[in-house]
Structure 1
Amino acid sequence: MNQPLDVLKAHWKHDAFRPTQEEIINSVLSGKDTFALLPTGGGKSICFQIPALIKPGICLVISPLVALMKDQVENLKIKNIKAIALTGGISFEETNNLLDNCAFGGYKFLYVSPERLQQDWVLERIKNLNVNSVAIDEAHCISQWGHDFRPAYLKIATLKEYFHVPFIALTATATPRVQNDICSLLHLENPAIFKNSFARENLGYHIIKTEDKLGKLKQIFLKNPEPSIVYVKNRKACVEFSKTFNDLGFTSTYYHGGLSTKDKDKNMKLWLEEKAQVIVATNAFGMGIDKPNVKTVVHLQIPDNIENYYQEAGRAGRNGNKSFALLLTPEINSENLKNYFLSNLPNKEFLHLVYKDLNNHFQIAYGEGFQEIFYLNLNQFCAKFNLSVTKTFACLQFLDRQGIITLNNLISNKASLQFLIESREIIRYCSLNVKDAAVIETILRNYTGVFEQVTIINIALIATKSGASEDKVIKVLNKLHAQEIIELKLQSNDISILYNEPREDSYTINRVVKILENQNQIKIEQYSQMLNFVSDNSTCKSVLISNYFGEENAKPCGICSYCNSKNKSEPKSVLESIQNLLKKGALSSNEIENTLTFSTEEIIFALQNLLENDVIYLNVNNKYQIK
């Protein structure tokens, strides 16, 4: 039998394991149920992939995220390891064929969502496979106290009746309460438990109080020209900040869930190859990314919970070099922020409303819609029904996690058209507009009825067959429409929705309302803890994170914003210099920093002292002014 290190060298080209990996692998190989808590960048997937490669049979991997499954399957294929993912939207026939391949094609990994396992016929097929182990990824999803609870995870324990093989539960972020839930709810039998420390000795967590985020970012990028990630809350901010950074002279790109796969790959490549210093992203970015030399991770808004913050911040400094996780925020009013956070949480009434409007928009009759896929432009839908985009998307995510729908981000363009002039005139037009001819001729070859009736066309198909880009196809169509050659209706969609059950209105929503209410309470508690992390001025930031995840006796890191301020004596010259400067006029913190030679930490600490002692105040223009 191959040894774990031999398999690591052969497929991953590494000469040694990361901390704890080998012990976890040996635990699984010995047949024990295993729980592995490895913080971000700890290499969780190898812990179940190597045992599965050593043992005969196939590993069943349960994962909640389609993108994560696809990413791992692609990475395994690159290593010439056969893997399959049963994602949503695959037809009965295709699913059957894939399961046949698992049974007879020498595949080593079968990735499924927990919702898939609730389909009896899928489970019956899987029960007949030669399963050598069961891996539960993102295992915190089984706990209502986890930050991404999915009820379908609760059914995984029933697999114990069919498979007498080791189960391995893996997560990057779990509090003690969640850790206990994972082991209990999965029915792990005397599990071997492995936990790596949450402390990152080379990563400094900094809370930077500033009213001028853009000015501060400029300083950060000039001081640290290495690769950076900037996290923002929405897609619009992604594009706008990236453009601003480029205008300021920094190479920048962006990444969010609404981009096409092609654009995601293109933008990612720019950043990975360091043709762009900065990538501006929503929380859709980061999965499967292991770029070791990220110097700074910046958050421009306060994340919803410490789990998300820790995972995103942890993408900095994986090469072991000193790195920074910077959270930029003005002085916070915790009560106002909590109220704003609460206003964006969907309640029972709003969930009912969104579900009803969704069914009306798609024209789904009562009792219909099962296993049908619909396409949606979220902004247009919300404008049509006068709904909050943020709250509506939260509702769709909630319905997805309950298995009522399967939600996928996508970019797709649908068009319906009819030619308004005769075919001989089209031929003449093509001879005069040679650059447009390939697109027009492709439409005519593939859609013979376009002269007689309005016809729906597939823009992606037209682009592929004509050798043009989708943007080019749309440009040609708009040109033809403007010249009254065609009647055109063009619609862009950014979400696909698969209905996993028929429309039932009140019955559908009422049975999950209690879960929604519990989750809202948990989210409020988690957000409060995140606000405490930001506003706490008396404890090392690394210690706060370690304590949150249940680590006792954590030692101060010495490099976070608190430790830096504590280690700096409060030189009289800093206080005096700031006061002398402000006597000449009100200034922002950025203007003060650009004028004085002291470090950011020294200036922030001094400003805080002067504010607390009523020597200075913030005026209506958010500038510091002497009293």
Structure 2
Amino acid sequence: MSEALQILQKYWKHNSFRPLQKEIIDSVLSGQDTFALMPTGGGKSICFQIPAMINEGICLVISPLIALMKDQVANLQKRNIKAIALTGGIRSDEMINLLDNCQFGNYKFLYLSPERLQSDWILERIKNLPINLITIDEAHCVSQWGQDFRPAYLKIAELKNHFPNTPFLALTATATPKAKEDIITQLGLQKPQLFQKSFARKNIAYMVFQTDDKLFRIEQILKKNPQSSIIYVRNRKSCLDISTQLRYLGFKATFYHGGLTSKEKDKNMLLWMQDEAQVIVATNAFGMGIDKSNVKTVIHIQLPENLENYYQEAGRAGRNEEKAFAVLLTNSSDIIQAENQFINILPDKAFLNSIYIKLCNYFQIAYGEGINEQFSFNLNLFCLKYKFPVLKTYNAIQFLDRQGVLTLSHEFSEKISLQFIIPSKEVIRYTSLNPNDEEIILAILRTYPGIYDMQTAFNLPLIAKKSNHTETQIHALLQKLKEKEIIEYHSKNNDSRIIFNEIREDERTINRVAKYLENQNKLKREQLKSVLEYINEDTVCKSKLILNYFGEITNTNCGICSYCISKKNKKTDLVQLSQEIHSIITNEELNSREIQNRVNNKSDEVIFVIKQLLENKKIILKPNNKYIIKL
């Protein structure tokens, strides 16, 4: 038995490797630079963890995802493997102790973000460590043709000068052919061994359905496939709304988003993992590290930002190799909504320049100064002062963060969150008895319609402006409402922080990073265009479209996607369907949904025939939305 297999059995309790894992491990152990493109669920971490355990020394793992680093370190420590992560928020003296532990404490793994390599003293300490392997996780961030490009990744190639005989292993789950070539070039990989697992998931049926009633279609899908399911939505409010509606329809449903407490996340996750809830409705905050083998259906009810994300999220279905479904529900309004969400909020060079100059003025930083200065920062106050759109501004600041111009702490949240805990009619009764409070309360209710259902982040300056009151007056009212047990109210003091990483040079600073902004915006437009082609193209197999996007050309249809199924199905006889519908409603009034349940045809066919019958004046629509025969 090989040493690699022995370690796999001892620490991970598996008796065999997944496809390509052993080949990648052998390549790394032979000292070769290696590039591995393994889709979600392929077991990438094993590919560097096992060779690092076999060789003397420590494995340096560079990753942009703090949550993933913490998760991997925790999993290694559970197996009594010594691992450390240098994440944000660690003081310099603590970091020195951690690096001492790496050097003298027989540690096997050191995780850090690429930005850490920009600190000269950290780089100097790393040079003196017995590094046996350098792993670059989420390697698509190296490429300017990847959506998460971070210039700090470009510094990794410099490690080649300090560790010329140490193999590099680049890992990613999604990369187009152009991005793959760029990663190899930017990391300076020397004659790398290339391993690429096919993107084909032969057991997943990719389905795209046009529907105006998404909830009804979800109900049909979940009844037909009552096994474990995920429904992906775009925002937190939709999580709550859809899960509530599903429970009302009789499904066991829970939800998951980034705004939940750790306790709530763990509780809801456990319900789903243990199959006590059939469905979990989630934002894209859900999924990292989730490996539930029996997920039958993954449903997206809004368009994804790109096919990379969609492929990863859809790929959480069918990991037990049984047939599973990846369903995307769409309608005519989705395209406009997607453009508003993904394209119209992209900052251009002029907007970025304006944001940077206003930020410097806001904190009174003079030209040629500001390096390493830190400030408490409230995004909403800043946007209110300069009348900037919040999302577009946040994207601009995030871009400056990724470029290393400044650092925005990722603990951003509103100062206040609150929820009304009495029924709406009782709130109305309170306002009628307390007219002095009415203006503020109405401003809150109009701004946050979901505030009865969940703890809601609260923008104090905005409500002050809308209600024509001072922030002090609003604070006083909130405290009073809390004491009367009308609201649950939490005041937080954790504005985000901004650190300026270089001196202020206005246009010179922005000109230096503008080319990356242009590439990013161009890429995002192309990615959304690919999503629209995926949903609108009705003459090509859906699986084939996804494979082609990732550069995997195939002439074989999958046979199970929505396109392939439509080709197999006999063409519906619309005349016969028309007669059937006419006959059904001869003796009773039915709405369109009830008609569809009776005839068991596709919804678009039923709607088409109903419209034809209406236009030909064979049936009429009553005020109660039910159809009857026209006499």
TM-score normalised by structure 1 residue count: 0.79
Unaligned runs of 5+ in 1: 416-473
Q: Kindly state the Cα deviation for residue 210 of structure 1 after the two structures are TM-superposed.
A: 0.4
- Which range is displaced more, 276-285 or 244-253? 244-253
Q: Kindly state the Cα deviation for residue 221 of structure 1 after the two structures are TM-superposed.
A: 2.1
Contact 1:374 1:498 in 2 (8 A): no
Aligned to 1:236: 237
- Which range is displaced more, 505-514 or 143-152? 505-514
Aligned to 1:41: 41
Q: Kindly state the Cα deviation for residue 92 of structure 1 after the two structures are TM-superposed.
A: 1.2
1:418-437 counterparts in 2 under 5 A? none
Question: Distance between the aligned counterparts of 1:124 and 1:83, measured in 2?
Answer: 20
Flag the 1:611–1:207 CA change in 2: closer, same or farther, 3 A.
farther
Aligned to 1:404: 405
- Which range is displaced more, 587-596 or 145-154? 587-596
Question: Distance between the aligned counterparts of 2:626 and 2:234, measured in 1?
Answer: 28
- Which range is displaced more, 276-285 or 60-69? 276-285
Aligned to 1:426: none
Contact 2:376 2:495 in 1 (8 A): no
Flag the 1:172–1:370 CA change in 2: closer, same or farther, 3 A.
same
| Alignment length (residue pairs) | 554
Aligned to 1:372: 374
Q: Kindly state the Cα deviation for residue 372 of structure 1 after the two structures are TM-superposed.
A: 3.5
Aligned to 1:451: none
Question: Distance between the aligned counterparts of 1:392 and 1:248, measured in 2?
Answer: 40
Q: Kindly state the Cα deviation for residue 162 of structure 1 after the two structures are TM-superposed.
A: 0.7
Contact 2:383 2:390 in 1 (8 A): yes
Q: Kindly state the Cα deviation for residue 409 of structure 1 after the two structures are TM-superposed.
A: 4.5
SS in 2 for 1:115: helix
SS in 2 for 1:61: strand
Aligned to 1:449: none
Question: Distance between the aligned counterparts of 1:608 and 1:54, measured in 2?
Answer: 65
Aligned to 2:254: 253
Contact 2:61 2:135 in 1 (8 A): yes
1:215-364 counterparts in 2 under 5 A? 215-331=216-332, 338=339, 341-355=342-356
1:500-519 counterparts in 2 under 5 A? 500-501=501-502, 505-519=506-520
Q: Deviations over 1:178-210 (max 9, x none)?
A: 111111111111111111111101101110100
Flag the 1:595–1:49 CA change in 2: closer, same or farther, 3 A.
same
SS in 1 for 2:114: coil
Question: Distance between the aligned counterparts of 1:86 and 1:160, measured in 2?
Answer: 21
Question: Distance between the aligned counterparts of 2:347 and 2:399, measured in 1?
Answer: 9
Question: Distance between the aligned counterparts of 1:401 and 1:409, measured in 2?
Answer: 12
Q: Kindly state the Cα deviation for residue 128 of structure 1 after the two structures are TM-superposed.
A: 0.4
Flag the 1:211–1:193 CA change in 2: closer, same or farther, 3 A.
same
1:116-155 counterparts in 2 under 5 A? 116-155=116-155
Contact 2:33 2:167 in 1 (8 A): yes
Aligned to 1:558: 559
Aligned to 2:22: 22
Contact 1:582 1:624 in 2 (8 A): no
Q: Kindly state the Cα deviation for residue 559 of structure 1 after the two structures are TM-superposed.
A: 1.0
Aligned to 2:469: none
* Structure 2 residue identity aligned to 1:185: Q
Q: Deviations over 1:398-454 (max 9, x none)?
A: 223222344455477869xxxxxxxxxxxxxxxxxxxxxxxxxxxxxxxxxxxxxxx
1:490 correspondence with 2:506 = no
Question: Distance between the aligned counterparts of 2:356 and 2:371, measured in 1?
Answer: 13
* Structure 2 residue identity aligned to 1:59: C
SS in 1 for 2:267: helix
Q: Deviations over 1:236-287 (max 9, x none)?
A: 3223323333333323333233334343333323322233322222222211
Aligned to 2:444: none
Q: Kindly state the Cα deviation for residue 96 of structure 1 after the two structures are TM-superposed.
A: 1.1
Aligned to 1:105: 105
Contact 1:212 1:588 in 2 (8 A): no
Contact 1:578 1:592 in 2 (8 A): no
Question: Distance between the aligned counterparts of 1:140 and 1:388, measured in 2?
Answer: 30
Contact 1:547 1:554 in 2 (8 A): no
1:28-67 counterparts in 2 under 5 A? 28-67=28-67
* Structure 2 residue identity aligned to 1:125: R
Q: Deviations over 1:119-172 (max 9, x none)?
A: 111100001000000001111111111121111111111110011211000111
Aligned to 2:433: none
Contact 1:114 1:156 in 2 (8 A): yes
Flag the 1:373–1:107 CA change in 2: closer, same or farther, 3 A.
farther
* Structure 1 residue identity aligned to 2:310: Y
Question: Distance between the aligned counterparts of 1:381 and 1:208, measured in 2?
Answer: 42
Which of 597, 600, 606 does residue 597 from structure 1 map onto?
Answer: 600
Aligned to 1:455: none
SS in 2 for 1:512: helix
Question: Distance between the aligned counterparts of 1:253 and 1:369, measured in 2?
Answer: 46
Question: Distance between the aligned counterparts of 1:363 and 1:268, measured in 2?
Answer: 46
Question: Distance between the aligned counterparts of 2:480 and 2:610, measured in 1?
Answer: 63
* Structure 1 residue identity aligned to 2:267: K
Contact 2:60 2:109 in 1 (8 A): yes
SS in 1 for 2:52: helix
- Which range is displaced more, 95-104 or 343-352? 343-352
Q: Kindly state the Cα deviation for residue 340 of structure 1 after the two structures are TM-superposed.
A: 6.9
Q: Kindly state the Cα deviation for residue 388 of structure 1 after the two structures are TM-superposed.
A: 3.1
Q: Kindly state the Cα deviation for residue 316 of structure 1 after the two structures are TM-superposed.
A: 0.8
Flag the 1:43–1:108 CA change in 2: closer, same or farther, 3 A.
same
Flag the 1:334–1:235 CA change in 2: closer, same or farther, 3 A.
closer
Q: Kindly state the Cα deviation for residue 375 of structure 1 after the two structures are TM-superposed.
A: 5.7
- Percent identity over the alignment? 56
- Which range is displaced more, 120-129 or 147-156? 147-156
Flag the 1:336–1:70 CA change in 2: closer, same or farther, 3 A.
closer
Q: Kindly state the Cα deviation for residue 532 of structure 1 after the two structures are TM-superposed.
A: 0.5
TM-score normalised by structure 2 residue count: 0.79
Aligned to 1:162: 162
Question: Distance between the aligned counterparts of 2:184 and 2:296, measured in 1?
Answer: 36
Q: Deviations over 1:518-567 (max 9, x none)?
A: 21011111111111011010111111111111112252111110011011
SS in 1 for 2:93: helix
Question: Distance between the aligned counterparts of 2:93 and 2:311, measured in 1?
Answer: 42
Q: Kindly state the Cα deviation for residue 81 of structure 1 after the two structures are TM-superposed.
A: 1.2
SS in 2 for 1:35: strand
Q: Kindly state the Cα deviation for residue 348 of structure 1 after the two structures are TM-superposed.
A: 2.2
Q: Kindly state the Cα deviation for residue 389 of structure 1 after the two structures are TM-superposed.
A: 3.6
Question: Distance between the aligned counterparts of 1:207 and 1:117, measured in 2?
Answer: 44
Flag the 1:129–1:256 CA change in 2: closer, same or farther, 3 A.
same
Flag the 1:375–1:323 CA change in 2: closer, same or farther, 3 A.
farther
Question: Distance between the aligned counterparts of 1:546 and 1:381, measured in 2?
Answer: 44
Question: Distance between the aligned counterparts of 2:18 and 2:495, measured in 1?
Answer: 39
